[in-house]
Structure 1
Amino acid sequence: MPDTKLPRVSVVVTCFNCPDYVGDAIRSVACQTFRDFDCVIVDDASTDTSAAAVQQMLDELADPRFRLIRLAKNVGQTGATRRGLATVQTPFVCFLDSDDLWNDDFLERHVAAHLNESYAVGFTACNARLIDGQGAVIAGGVYWFGRDRAVADRGRAFAPIDPARVPKLDTANGTAGWRRQTPYRLYTKRVVHWVWVSTSSMMFRRSLIDLVFPPDDETFRLHMDFYVVVMAQMVAGSLLIDEPLYAYRLHGRNGAADNPVLGGRLHLSARNWGDTHDRMLDRMLAAMVSGRERFVTALGEKQYRRMLLRMRAAQANALIAWVFILRSWLI
């Protein structure tokens, strides 16, 4: 088989008031074994020394693949990410939170997963180790990764992909050869519940991001990750890499995880996310209705209607939800 030229990847790091950790996050990108990438760091008008910490790291690296965008006005998670995306044009894109860390082979493993011969997924996602504010590992993984908690599924939503069909990358020469022994799982169920860790664990096709990215900044200042990932799963499905390829940092100021690790089923947040979940579903439906032409062009009329029905089902009670789901398969 002839060697295959590898795709280029872009990394977007957004930062707001995270001077203690953002330098280490950037360094973890610089250490990647997969070298054909560019990285844009967007400082969302931090009110502390975060921008200076970023610039200090970039000066130390002296690497033209890295650049900093400093925003004069705070625009929130979605707005900062949008401004970073506007500066990159590659077929694959990753988002790294400014307090998380990637393993050296994070990009390599995700590109390899995307190049599997079985199924072209919209995004890939891996498990995570949990670290504390000082970088010490406090948990080897998260229990909910890859667990479909919908009772009706009974485990049927996940299908294995033969590891031999996922390539081994020769990052020194920029080529790929198909042989690997890591477990991968294809997840194609169109769901509105969460089985992943965070967007720092993922690599997306840029074409998919362009389709599902939130339509405005202010409405989606927070919780962009839930919106983007659930919409992406509904459209294209995902591939799960059953290995922790990054570190999710718990330091007491996380946006979604504010509980200590107690063991057992890691309940990382004391918040009630029900209202947020419902609001995001409302916004997803509104975006799909207002953007109907774009979605129909990308998905086709039949798949678009199915996606709408499944989202409406998620807002209904269990009995009505099953009526919606059964109906979606009949149209």
Structure 2
Amino acid sequence: MSHQTTSFAVVITSYNYREYVLEAVESALAQSRKAAQVIVVDDGSTDGSVDLLRERYGADDRVVLLCGNNGGQLEGFQRGVARVEADVVCYLDSDDRWAPDYLARLGELYDVRRDVDFVFTDMQHFGEESKIVGFHRSAVDLGYTAVITYALTRWYGAPTSALSMRAPWARKVLEVPDSFRETWRLSADNCLVFGASVLGARKYYLPTGSVWYRIHGKNGWWSNRSASVAYTNRLRSRGLIGYYARVAGLDESCIELSKLEYKTKPDPLWAETKRYAALAMRGRAPWWKRVEHMLAILLGSKATGLPKGS
């Protein structure tokens, strides 16, 4: 059986990461399954990154080099995706790197699963921290995640360097008001993750062991877990989800679809089953109907071999 070969574009955004950016670009160029495009967006760096990139790749037809003023990460994504001429967009931060088999691993899935829109993977932290971070120990077809993301602010994704999506979805999630560019100068991967979920992308988690996420002094967000930061981040995320929900025409009534959304997941994790069962109880239907939906989710999960470890 033959499958259509998926083409990949890599969008690398960079700001003042002169000491790392070449390593990121070279890891994209060194893929065993070659990318159709490697697009490097420098976001107005002031540390000599632009000169370094132009010297190294200015005459390299494998690289599209976009240099401009400092507009933030979201604008960088928009500029990069605007130049994409491939089936799938993969994002890479300029302080991270990929193992040479990363695109090959993604391609094995995208080639045969034309229904999958968005794939994210695990990450190996390196630098000031060493550990593996992932959604689950094995692959998970997450189906659709619009309702649960809207209702519970669930995050079905990963930081930038472990994200990929089909190009039409990459364009769709970045069609946001210009005012968002300032709000999401940083952490714009929220737009990619939440936007894809709420607008209706089918998601898949594929552990590859091929994404290396650098922990260093300049990206030390993980060490700040204060109550104020947690609240502010959650508030901004709710606002973002609310925007995408309005675009999709979703409101609280979508919670009535939680049972149907759950059914799009071929082999859900037990933790996911419990979330959907709880969500079914939040609908506007009569209490007995909500209990019926909850039990259908719980009993249905057991009939398919669950619970499983989450």
Decide: shared fold, TM above 0.5: yes
How many Å apart are 1:108 and its aligned residue? Answer: 1.1
Question: Number of aligned pairs?
Answer: 257
> Of 107, 111, 125, which aligns to 2:107?
111
The 3 A distance-change label for structure 1 pair 64 and 5 is: farther
Name the one with the larger helix percent: 2
Equivalent residue runs for 1:116-135 within 5 Å: 116-117=112-113, 120-132=115-127
1:98 paired residue number? 94
How many Å apart are 1:197 and its aligned residue? Answer: 3.2
Q: Which string of whole-angstrom CA distances, capped at 9 and with x for unpartnered residues, describes residues 292-312 of structure 1? A: xxx36xxxx8x99627999xx
The DSSP-based 3-state class of the residue aligned with 1:256 is helix
The 3 A distance-change label for structure 1 pair 309 and 79 is: farther
Q: Which string of whole-angstrom CA distances, capped at 9 and with x for unpartnered residues, describes residues 27-83 of structure 1? A: 000100111420111111111111122223325xx5412021110x21111111111
How many Å apart are 1:23 and its aligned residue? Answer: 0.5
The 3 A distance-change label for structure 1 pair 322 and 5 is: closer
2:160 paired residue number? 199
CA contact (8 A) 1:33 1:108 kept: yes
How many Å apart are 1:214 and its aligned residue? Answer: 5.2
CA contact (8 A) 1:127 1:196 kept: no
1:152 paired residue number? none
Separation in structure 2 between the aligned mates of residue 112 and residue 30 of structure 1, nearest angstrom: 19
Q: Are 1:64 and 2:61 an aligned pair?
A: yes
> Of 73, 82, 87, which aligns to 1:86?
82
CA contact (8 A) 2:6 2:111 kept: no
Q: Which string of whole-angstrom CA distances, capped at 9 and with x for unpartnered residues, describes residues 308-329 of structure 1? A: 999xxxxxxx9xx947843499
Separation in structure 2 between the aligned mates of residue 240 and residue 25 of structure 1, nearest angstrom: 23
The DSSP-based 3-state class of the residue aligned with 2:211 is strand
> Of 175, 183, 186, which aligns to 1:219?
183
The DSSP-based 3-state class of the residue aligned with 2:219 is coil
Kindly provide the amino acid, as one letter, of the partner of residue 34 in structure 1.
Answer: R
How many Å apart are 1:220 and its aligned residue? Answer: 2.5
Separation in structure 2 between the aligned mates of residue 307 and residue 92 of structure 1, nearest angstrom: 30
The DSSP-based 3-state class of the residue aligned with 1:253 is helix
Q: How well do the aligned residues superpose, as a CA RMSD in angstroms? A: 3.1
Kindly provide the amino acid, as one letter, of the partner of residue 62 in structure 2.
Answer: R
1:77 paired residue number? 73
Separation in structure 2 between the aligned mates of residue 248 and residue 283 of structure 1, nearest angstrom: 25
Equivalent residue runs for 1:1-331 within 5 Å: 1-2=1-2, 4-58=3-57, 63-71=60-68, 73-117=69-113, 120-132=115-127, 138-142=129-133, 145-146=134-135, 183-188=138-143, 189=145, 190-191=148-149, 192-194=153-155, 196-213=157-174, 215=176, 216=178, 217-234=181-198, 235-254=200-219, 256-257=221-222, 259=223, 269-271=224-226, 272-289=229-246, 291=247, 295=248, 306=254, 322=279, 325-327=282-284
Separation in structure 1 between the aligned mates of residue 202 and residue 252 of structure 2, nearest angstrom: 14
1:151 paired residue number? none
Give the TM-score normalised by the residue count of structure 2. 0.73
Identity %: 26
CA contact (8 A) 1:309 1:325 kept: no
The DSSP-based 3-state class of the residue aligned with 1:218 is helix
The DSSP-based 3-state class of the residue aligned with 1:17 is coil
The 3 A distance-change label for structure 1 pair 83 and 195 is: closer
How many Å apart are 1:228 and its aligned residue? Answer: 1.9
Separation in structure 2 between the aligned mates of residue 78 and residue 95 of structure 1, nearest angstrom: 12
* Structure 1 unaligned residues grouped into runs of 5+: 148-181, 260-268, 311-317
Separation in structure 2 between the aligned mates of residue 304 and residue 210 of structure 1, nearest angstrom: 26
